[in-house]
């Protein structure tokens, strides 16, 4: 590893960081615009073309606003919390491959910050750390609403982390690796979303909850908790939470794209061959974020107890079932041969069909004799 | 140059000792519990250090099991603390002395 | 078929287990189930017998080992069953008579709140007795022996709400225990001298024993037999045992329990023959008991107690037979007695059933018209007991007396005749007072139901025709069958002045004489027996109390025993024993008062102790390296 | 590189542990413990145990410590602990014996394997694959056992922490006689 490697790495880090910040800007604008459109409003339109600079304007405003620190706060933690919220969101992105890479200065430069062998675990680890920002912000504010928001969110995030993990486990069992680049490579014939559609649903649902996106945005449910865990925050610290939330959303979308939508894969043309994968990746992420926004505009917020029971009684059981099924899908063809498997599945389906046809007849016959 | 294994072991010993002292001098049940976690962590470090020294992964597997057991232990322990707290409105271990003569 | 012999004790045992564990659900079929199992056991016995008859006389002893039970060093006590003519005769008697009594009980015990438990005990009783007679070693025999004792306790005290029944049960248990202890010592002695408890080895070595040792073993075993078979002086439990349900009495007297003593003496005859003294004791105890119990029987007003003393007396006969070496005859009398005594008891039970428990003969009378079947059964049983020719009792008793006479023991013979005379008197008296004459109280008896009368009828047939099995001491089927085990019956007809026929005639004449005397007193109406009772009140009381033996025991043993017990309970136990225990306890409490200061109850103090230990261990490790 | 990371992390690690010990507020103690666990994860990476480093973060920092924080907040026990030690001699003895233990262990390490000995050659191949292979072959039975253990623990926690539910007696809610619990302020 010579100095050039270091330089290239630094360059990539800076680029990714900048790209994330910019994409947050765009994402916030896009969300406001799209939601407004869906609600037949106009949305932001003054700052810049189509109001595109609205986020920038907001950011500048927040940055220069006076940072108010309430007297009841636990000061060190109060200051630490927004940072703790932001950092894992950035770090999680480190393992996401966002392009096929390029030949530069006679060496291969992957479009990925670090291709760790535990890649997918890294994402999970960072996701599990994100909860600290929320919890500590809630606690350190020394105020009732934030505390409730913090406690809610810790329970919610811990619960849904399991859902995420189950979705991820299914994928890594199917792909046979934890390395993100290899997961992408394994999708060269068919995207994981097809064979792993249930895992995709579970992962995306849980990820929405994990990022506190609607309809799972209970920690900050403004109608109940003012603004949830960051009620007592203002100015730049508030901006950091806001930023963190969107970076989180983008990261989650990027991870979902990597795991399920074939990552940067897509048709590559001769013109600038390194650019196309990047483009496909960005397009897929944008499409997924659009879906997130769409969901936000469509589905109302969950009630807290329903949220928990949905997580524990629906998401986790089905996640477990799907993990088992994936195990069977992976192992059975090796064990009994693909043809035999197909035959057995066909027989099973036929028998099920037959039974479902016969069963109503039987029950009717019995129902007649019963009082 | 690779770090000598003994360094890790010394750190582990120090952490373990700190954990031990923590168990002994703190009175808040939760902090005592955290100290115990610190001890477990220190032992895990030792296991992994020796695993590295021997060039195989049995030590890591053992540490893995120790983490699983720690997780189970924390869940039950915290539940016990919650139950005690409901009863005595205190997390101070010195208040829990029913076995005292 | 012989291999299936284990089924014989196992079937009733299984019934007992099933009924004890699942008495409630099985309640409705308890009686039927128990009877069926014993019946099946009987069938298996018959099949084994057929097997046995199919082989030569010398090959009729088979040992069937079930499993290893105790095996310690040279001590081997397997669970091993012995199939030979003697055990088969016993097994057949036990299962056959037992089966009839079971069937009889179905109706007799109908409606009892502990119906299924009753049958469980009954089955267990039969199983224990079968274990006893089929055992091939002294230890297993002892197991059956104690099992029989336990069951007798449970059944005699079956109606334990009644104090008399509970006391009778305890009495039976404790009195027989005296004999059992002696017997256990005898078994120990046999093992220590012969090195084995298996029959073949013990009895095979009997001939070579020093006469003192042989006498000791024989007398100790005989003590056990005396206890179980209710001979003088351990007979006191049997009359009281009448407190149990009547079929139980029938079972105890006819098939199980009391016959065990006779069986033991016959089984162990090799040891007894090794000692002249022992045989003499057996004969003398037998004949004295026979006369004594017969006299006591005359004095009894309770029908069942008459029969109880009669049993004691008849057992005395059997011991007399064994004592003069006529083992086969003893067993034959045992079988015969099983038939007619069971018959008598079931008839008595039938009477009881009909009169709602009134059994005092002075209050009965004239029952024959109301209960012809019962009366006939009792009459047949009684005649058989008295020894009227051609009934089964005639042959067996005649052979015993003949054996005594032929052995040259004229004294025993004459005493035996006296006993026979007494027997005829008391049984005739009992019959006449119960069934003839005018009713002496307001009772409305009725004939018993079929399940009760049929077994009585079957036993009656047995009592009448049983003689065919052993009409002669030399040529009777039973005697010949038993020959290989107990020794061939010797033909020494010419030993005395009287021929066999002559002896029979004398015996019959004595019996008829006894009956006639009793008829003259109680049946003819010419003598006012109630006036006689009043005149000889003292003598009558002596007879009815069995010559005060029981009262003597009470005064000599029970009263001082009670005093000693109450002394140790009130003084020794509370002062000395409790004092010591409490003192030790108090000392420890005081000591612990010091030690408990170490227990602060604070977790952290204990954790500190942990750390102390850990640091010490690490330092020790470091110092040692 | 290796050594530099170690020398940065080691003081942080020990310092975080000591600070955890000294914090009077349970939340801060928990945070310092999290920091300590991070440094441990770094140590694990240095020791080529990548999988366990990830597990360390996910399980300890991500789950266990969050649970701690959750309980602390839930119970509201983040009040400061009194500095007075009620048990005589406890603190001094504990620290003294602790130092003795540490000294003994360090001495043992020095005597046993030498303080400066370089580690053996790093195992080749993928750490995750190696761990997985051993875990699912040699240790598959213990592995399955841990799943049972976790289920039992989950059930146990639910039973212990349950408030009165449908007529079942509750372990926690029966207040001891003569000592009414006051409501948490």
User: pLDDT tens across C372-403, in order?
Assistant: 878 888 888 888 888 777 777 788 888 888 88
Percent of chain D at pLDDT above 70?
A: 77
Of C487, C206, C207, C185, which is closest to residue C324 (Cα–Cα)?
Answer: C487
Answer whether C touches D (≥3 Cβ pairs < 8 Å).
Answer: yes
Answer whether B touches D (≥3 Cβ pairs < 8 Å).
Answer: yes
Nearest-CB residue to D62 (from A76, A129, A139): A129
Least CA distance to D150: which residue of chain B? Answer: B72
Give dist(CA A213, CA A153) in Å, integer: 12
User: What pLDDT does B45 receive?
Assistant: 92
CA-atom Rg of chain C in angstroms: 29
Q: Are C143 and C124 in contact (CB under 8 A)?
A: no
Classify burial at C363, counting beta carbons within 10 Å of its beta carbon; exposed 0-12, middle 13-18, buried 19 or more.
Answer: middle
CB contact under 8 A, D50 and A117: yes
Percent of chain A at pLDDT above 90?
A: 0
Give dist(CA C497, CA D185) in Å, integer: 120
Dihedral sign computed on CA atoms, order D57, D60, D63, D65: negative
Using CB atoms and an 8 Å cut-off, which of residues 24-53 of chain B contact chain D?
24-28, 30-31, 33-35, 37-38, 41, 44-45, 48-49, 51-53
Q: Does D59 touch chain B (CB under 8 A)?
A: yes
pLDDT at D172 over 50: no
Give dist(CA C153, CA C258) in Å, integer: 13
Q: Which helix (H) or strand (E) holds A115?
A: none
Of C375, C373, C354, C510, which is closest to residue C430 (Cα–Cα)?
Answer: C375
Nearest-CB residue to C599 (from B23, B27, B101): B101
Q: Does D63 touch chain A (CB under 8 A)?
A: yes
CB contact under 8 A, C608 and B94: no
Of B93, D92, A168, A252, which is closest to residue C608 (Cα–Cα)?
Answer: D92
pLDDT at A228 over 80: no
CB contact under 8 A, C607 and B101: no
Q: Are B66 and D55 in contact (CB under 8 A)?
A: no
Q: Are D131 and B65 in contact (CB under 8 A)?
A: no
CB contact under 8 A, B23 and C607: yes
User: What pLDDT does D122 receive?
Assistant: 65
Of C258, C265, C264, which is closest to residue C283 (Cα–Cα)?
Answer: C265
CB contact under 8 A, D130 and B57: yes
| Tens of pLDDT, residues A65-112 | 877 777 777 788 888 888 888 888 888 888 888 777 777 776 777 777
pTM as predicted: 0.56
pLDDT at A366 over 50: no
User: What pLDDT does D185 receive?
Assistant: 38
> CB count, 10 Å around CB of A64?
9
Q: Which residues contact B18 (CB under 8 A, 6 or more apart)?
A: B35, B38, D14, D17, D18, D20, D21, D98
Give dist(CA C554, CA C560) in Å, integer: 9
Nearest-CB residue to D50 (from A118, A139, A154): A118
| Tens of pLDDT, residues C148-185 | 888 888 888 888 888 888 888 888 888 888 888 988 99
CB pairs under 8 A between C and D: 35
Write the ipTM: 0.70
Closest Cα of chain B to C619: distance in Å? 14
Q: Which of D5, D75, D117 to mutate to test the interface with B (most CBs of B within 10 A)?
A: D75
CB pairs under 8 A between B and D: 267
User: What pLDDT does C17 receive?
Assistant: 87
CB contact under 8 A, C625 and D93: no
Of B84, B88, B74, which is closest to residue B33 (Cα–Cα)?
Answer: B74
CB contact under 8 A, C599 and B20: no
Residues of chain B contacting residue C607, judged by C-beta atoms under 8 Å apart: 23-24
How long is chain B? 101
Of A172, A156, A278, A295, which is closest to residue A228 (Cα–Cα)?
Answer: A156
Q: Does C604 touch chain B (CB under 8 A)?
A: yes
Q: What 3-state DSSP class applies to A224? A: helix
Q: Which residue has the tokens 């007696």?
A: D169
Classify burial at C142, counting beta carbons within 10 Å of its beta carbon; exposed 0-12, middle 13-18, buried 19 or more.
Answer: buried
CB pairs under 8 A between A and D: 73
Give CA torsion, residues A318, A323, A327, A328, to 10 deg: 10
Considering A16-30, A40-54, C526-540, the range whose residues carry the highest mean pLDDT is A16-30
Where along chain A do its domains lie? 55-93+116-336
Percent of chain B as helix, strand, coil, to the nearest 5: 80, 0, 20
Q: Does B66 touch chain D (CB under 8 A)?
A: no
User: What pLDDT does D177 receive?
Assistant: 41
Q: Are A96 and A255 in contact (CB under 8 A)?
A: yes
Residues of chain C with pLDDT under 70: 1, 442-443, 445, 471-476, 487-498
> CB count, 10 Å around CB of D151?
11
Q: Which helix (H) or strand (E) holds A73?
A: none
Of C108, C151, C106, which is closest to residue C129 (Cα–Cα)?
Answer: C151
Least CA distance to A152: which residue of chain D? Answer: D70
Binned at pLDDT 50, 70 and 90, residue D178 comes out as very low
User: What pLDDT does A368 receive?
Assistant: 43
Task: Write phi, then psi, for B39 (nearest 5 degrees).
Answer: -60, -45
Residues of chain C contacting residue D108, judged by C-beta atoms under 8 Å apart: 618, 621-622, 625
Q: Does D143 touch chain A (CB under 8 A)?
A: no
CB contact under 8 A, B83 and D176: no
Give dist(CA A99, CA A116) in Å, integer: 16
CB contact under 8 A, A117 and D127: yes
Least CA distance to D29: which residue of chain A? Answer: A77
Residue range A332-359: average pLDDT?
79
Residue range D36-57: average pLDDT?
88
Q: Does A143 touch chain D (CB under 8 A)?
A: no
User: What pLDDT does D176 receive?
Assistant: 43
Q: Does B81 touch chain D (CB under 8 A)?
A: yes
Residue range D103-107: average pLDDT?
84
Closest Cα of chain D to C607: distance in Å? 9
Of A42, C259, D120, A305, which is closest to residue B2 (Cα–Cα)?
Answer: D120
Residues of chain D contacting residue C614, judged by C-beta atoms under 8 Å apart: 101
Question: Any idea what DSSP says for residue A220?
Answer: G
Task: Write phi, then psi, for C599 (nearest 5 degrees).
Answer: -85, 100
Where along chain B do its domains lie? 5-88
Residues of chain C contacting residue D105, judged by C-beta atoms under 8 Å apart: 618
CB contact under 8 A, B18 and D18: yes
User: What pLDDT does B15 receive?
Assistant: 92
Binned at pLDDT 50, 70 and 90, residue B44 comes out as very high
CB contact under 8 A, A150 and D51: no
CB contact under 8 A, B99 and C607: no
Give dist(CA C146, CA C136) in Å, integer: 16
Q: Which CATH number fits domain B5-88: 1.10.287.3510, 3.40.630.10, 3.40.50.2300, 1.20.1250.20?
A: 1.10.287.3510
């Amino acid at each position: 590893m010579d100095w050039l490697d270091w330089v290239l790495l630094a360059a990539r880090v800076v680029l990714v960081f900048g790209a994330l910040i910019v994409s947050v800007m765009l994402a916030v604008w896009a969300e406001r615009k799209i939601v407004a459109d869906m609600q037949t409003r106009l949305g932001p339109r003054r700052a810049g073309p189509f109001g595109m600079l609205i986020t920038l304007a907001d950011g500048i405003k927040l940055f220069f606003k006076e940072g108010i620190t309430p007297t009841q706060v636990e000061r060190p933690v109060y200051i630490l919390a927004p940072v703790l919220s932001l950092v894992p969101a950035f770090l999680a992105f480190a393992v996401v491959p966002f392009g096929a890479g390029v030949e530069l200065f006679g060496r291969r430069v992957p479009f990925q910050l670090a291709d760790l062998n535990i890649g997918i675990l890294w994402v999970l680890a960072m996701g599990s750390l994100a909860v600290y920002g929320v919890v500590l912000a809630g606690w350190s504010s020394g105020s009732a609403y934030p505390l409730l928001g913090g406690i809610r969110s810790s329970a919610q995030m811990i619960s849904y982390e399991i859902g995420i993990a189950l979705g991820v486990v299914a994928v890594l069992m199917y792909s046979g690796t934890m390395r993100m680049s290899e997961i992408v490579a394994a999708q060269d014939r068919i995207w994981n979303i097809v064979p792993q559609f249930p895992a995709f649903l579970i992962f995306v649902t849980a990820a929405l909850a994990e990022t506190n996106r609607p309809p799972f945005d209970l920690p900050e449910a403004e109608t109940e908790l003012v603004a949830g865990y960051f009620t007592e925050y203002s100015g730049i610290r508030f901006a950091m939470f806001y930023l963190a939330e969107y970076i989180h959303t983008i990261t989650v979308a990027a991870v979902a794209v990597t795991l399920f939508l074939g990552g940067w894969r897509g048709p590559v043309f001769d013109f600038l061959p390194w650019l196309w994968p990047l483009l496909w990746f960005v397009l897929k992420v944008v499409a997924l974020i659009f879906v997130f926004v769409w969901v936000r505009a469509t589905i109302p917020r969950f009630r807290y107890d329903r949220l928990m029971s949905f997580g524990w009684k629906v998401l986790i059981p089905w996640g477990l079932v799907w993990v088992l099924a994936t195990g069977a899908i992976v192992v059975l063809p090796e064990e009994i041969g693909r043809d035999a498997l197909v035959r057995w599945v066909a027989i099973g389906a036929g028998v099920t069909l037959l039974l479902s046809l016969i069963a109503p007849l039987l029950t009717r016959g019995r129902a007649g004799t019963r009082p | 140059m690779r770090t000598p294994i003994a360094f890790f072991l010394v750190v582990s010993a120090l952490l373990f000792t700190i954990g031990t002292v923590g168990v002994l001098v703190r009175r808040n049940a939760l902090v005592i519990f955290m100290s115990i976690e610190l001890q477990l962590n220190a032992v895990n470090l030792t296991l992994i250090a020796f695993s590295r020294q021997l060039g195989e992964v049995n030590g890591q597997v053992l540490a893995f099991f120790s983490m699983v057991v720690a997780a189970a232990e924390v869940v039950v322990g915290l539940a016990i603390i919650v139950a005690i707290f409901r009863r005595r409105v205190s997390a101070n271990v010195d208040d829990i002395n029913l076995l005292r003569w | 078929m012989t291999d299936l012999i284990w089924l014989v004790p196992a079937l009733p045992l299984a019934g007992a287990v099933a009924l004890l564990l699942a008495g409630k659900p099985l309640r409705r079929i308890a009686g039927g189930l128990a009877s069926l199992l014993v019946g099946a056991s009987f069938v298996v016995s018959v099949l084994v017998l057929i097997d046995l008859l199919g082989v030569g006389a010398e090959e009729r002893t088979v040992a069937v080992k079930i499993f290893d039970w105790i095996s310690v060093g040279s001590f081997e006590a397997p669970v091993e069953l012995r199939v030979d003519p003697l055990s088969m005769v016993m097994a057949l008697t036990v299962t056959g008579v037992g089966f009839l009594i079971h069937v009889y009980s179905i109706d007799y015990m109908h409606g009892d709140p502990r119906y299924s438990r009753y049958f469980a005990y009954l089955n267990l009783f039969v199983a224990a007795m079968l274990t006893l007679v089929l055992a091939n070693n002294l230890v297993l025999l002892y197991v059956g022996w104690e099992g029989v004792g336990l069951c007798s306790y449970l059944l005699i005290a079956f109606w334990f709400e009644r104090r008399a029944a509970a006391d009778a049960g305890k009495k039976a248990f404790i009195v027989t225990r005296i004999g059992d202890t002696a017997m256990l010592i005898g078994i120990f002695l046999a093992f220590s001298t012969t090195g084995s408890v298996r029959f073949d080895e013990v009895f095979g070595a009997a001939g070579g024993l020093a006469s003192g040792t042989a006498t000791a073993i024989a007398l100790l075993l005989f003590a056990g037999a005396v206890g179980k078979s209710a001979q003088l002086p351990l007979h006191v439990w049997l009359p009281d045992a009448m407190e149990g349900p009547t079929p139980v009495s029938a079972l105890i007297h006819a098939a199980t329990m009391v016959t065990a003593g006779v069986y033991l003496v016959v089984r162990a005859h090799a040891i007894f023959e090794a000692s002249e003294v022992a045989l003499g004791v057996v004969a003398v105890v037998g004949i004295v008991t026979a006369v004594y119990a017969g006299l006591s029987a005359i004095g009894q007003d309770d029908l069942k107690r008459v029969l109880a003393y009669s049993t004691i007396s008849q057992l005395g006969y059997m011991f007399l037979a064994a004592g003069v070496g006529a083992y086969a005859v003893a067993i034959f009398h045992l079988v015969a007695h099983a038939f007619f005594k069971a018959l008598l008891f079931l008839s008595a039970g039938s009477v009881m059933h009909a009169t709602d428990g009134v059994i005092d003969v002075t209050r009965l009378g004239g029952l024959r018209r109301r209960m012809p079947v019962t009366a006939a059964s009792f009459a047949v049983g009684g005649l058989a007991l008295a020894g009227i020719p051609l009934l089964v009792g005639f042959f067996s008793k005649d052979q015993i007396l003949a054996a005594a006479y032929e052995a040259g023991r004229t004294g025993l013979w004459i005493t035996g005749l006296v006993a026979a005379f007494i027997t005829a008197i008391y049984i005739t008296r009992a019959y006449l007072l119960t069934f003839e004459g005018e009713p002496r109280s307001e009772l409305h008896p009725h004939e018993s139901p079929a399940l009760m009368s049929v077994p009585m009828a079957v036993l009656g047939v047995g009592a009448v025709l049983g003689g065919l099995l052993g009409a002669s001491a030399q040529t009777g089927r039973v005697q010949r069958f038993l020959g290989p085990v107990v020794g061939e019956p010797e033909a020494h007809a010419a030993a005395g002045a009287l021929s066999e026929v002559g002896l029979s005639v004398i015996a019959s004449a004595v019996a008829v004489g006894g009956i006639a005397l009793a008829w003259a007193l109680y049946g003819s109406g010419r003598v006012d027996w109630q006036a006689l009772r009043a005149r000889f009140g003292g003598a009558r009381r002596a007879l009815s109390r069995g010559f005060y033996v029981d009262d003597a025991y009470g005064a000599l043993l029970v009263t001082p025993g009670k005093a000693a017990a109450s002394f140790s309970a009130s003084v020794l136990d509370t002062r000395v024993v409790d004092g010591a225990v409490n003192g030790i306890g108090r000392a420890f409490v005081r000591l612990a008062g010091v030690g408990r200061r170490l227990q602060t109850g604070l977790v952290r103090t204990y954790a500190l102790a942990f750390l102390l230990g850990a640091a010490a261990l690490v330092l020790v490790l470091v110092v040692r390296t | 590189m290796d050594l530099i990371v170690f020398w940065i992390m080691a003081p942080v690690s020990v310092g975080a542990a000591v600070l955890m010990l000294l914090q009077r507020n349970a939340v801060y103690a928990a945070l310092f413990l999290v920091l300590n666990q991070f440094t441990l994860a770094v140590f694990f990476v240095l020791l080529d145990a990548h999988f366990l480093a990830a597990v360390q973060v996910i399980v300890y920092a991500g789950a266990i410590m969050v649970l701690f924080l959750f309980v602390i907040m839930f119970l509201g026990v983040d009040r400061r602990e009194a500095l007075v030690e009620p048990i005589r001699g406890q603190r001094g003895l504990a620290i003294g014996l602790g130092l003795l233990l540490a000294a003994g262990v360090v001495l043992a390490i020095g005597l046993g394997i030498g303080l400066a000995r370089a580690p053996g050659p790093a195992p080749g191949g993928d750490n995750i694959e190696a761990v997985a292979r051993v875990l699912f072959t040699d240790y598959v039975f213990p592995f399955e056992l841990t799943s049972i253990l976790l289920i039992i623990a989950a059930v146990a926690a639910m039973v212990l922490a349950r408030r009165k539910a449908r007529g079942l007696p509750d372990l926690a809610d029966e207040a001891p006689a003569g000592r009414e619990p006051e409501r948490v302020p």
